[in-house]
Structure 1
Amino acid sequence: MAFLVPSEFSKDVNSSLVSFQSSNLLAEQLLNLEEKRTPEAVEMIIGMNAQDQVKNQTMAKELTNMNMLLQGQVFDVMDVRADED
């Protein structure tokens, strides 16, 4: 659902005939974002990339910790088997 707001370019704010921003303008703004044509679009993409980088770093740390735990368990099993021989 889209809400139409009076355009800032309306000549007379008291007029009963107020022009509205069109859906074409909204479509153009969305296209600009999708095609990264505006500074705002680039800024938003950089922000999203920074968030993704933080998430990826967190996941890498978690995977490293899990790997260390699994290696410890493997060494424990190897020690038990070596003691049984």
Structure 2
Amino acid sequence: MAFLVPSQFSKDVNSSIVSFNSSNLLAEQLLDLEEKRTLEAVEMIIGVNIQDRVKNQTMAKELTNMNMLLQGQVFDVMDVGADED
């Protein structure tokens, strides 16, 4: 979670120009993440990889179940066809 703190406020309420002190910090943290320079960046990448692996395993199980159901339906159709002969 990142907190951006305005470094100066305009007296004009409708002004859309606000500069932030932490924009350099945010850019540095993004670079750390991209280059895996900190422990936190590596932990975040590992966490994302674990989530992806779990999601992929779940999808593989669902596809296996769907495949088994389809095979069962094919065998049923083949049995009906054999009974008609």
The TM-score normalised by the length of structure 1 is 0.72
Identity rate, percent? 83
Gap regions ≥5 residues in structure 2: 8-19
- Give the equivalent residue in structure 2 for 1:26: 26
- Give the equivalent residue in structure 1 for 2:40: 40
Between the aligned partners of 2:25 and 2:4, the Cα distance in structure 1 is 13
Gap regions ≥5 residues in structure 1: 7-19
Quote the RMSD (CA, aligned, Å). Answer: 2.1
SS in 1 for 2:52: helix
Between the aligned partners of 1:22 and 1:77, the Cα distance in structure 2 is 65
Between the aligned partners of 1:65 and 1:55, the Cα distance in structure 2 is 15
SS in 1 for 2:61: helix
Between the aligned partners of 2:33 and 2:81, the Cα distance in structure 1 is 60
Moved >4 Å (runs of 4+):
none
Between the aligned partners of 1:26 and 1:3, the Cα distance in structure 2 is 9
Q: Comparing both chains, which one has the higher relative contact order based on Cα–Cα distances under 8 Å and sequence gaps of 6 or more?
A: 2
Quote how far apart the aligned CAs of 1:21 are. Answer: 4.6
The TM-score normalised by the length of structure 2 is 0.72
Quote how far apart the aligned CAs of 1:29 are. Answer: 1.4
Between the aligned partners of 1:25 and 1:67, the Cα distance in structure 2 is 50
- Give the equivalent residue in structure 2 for 1:66: 66
- Give the equivalent residue in structure 2 for 1:3: 4
Query: How many residues are treated as equivalent by the alignment?
Result: 71
Between the aligned partners of 1:42 and 1:49, the Cα distance in structure 2 is 10
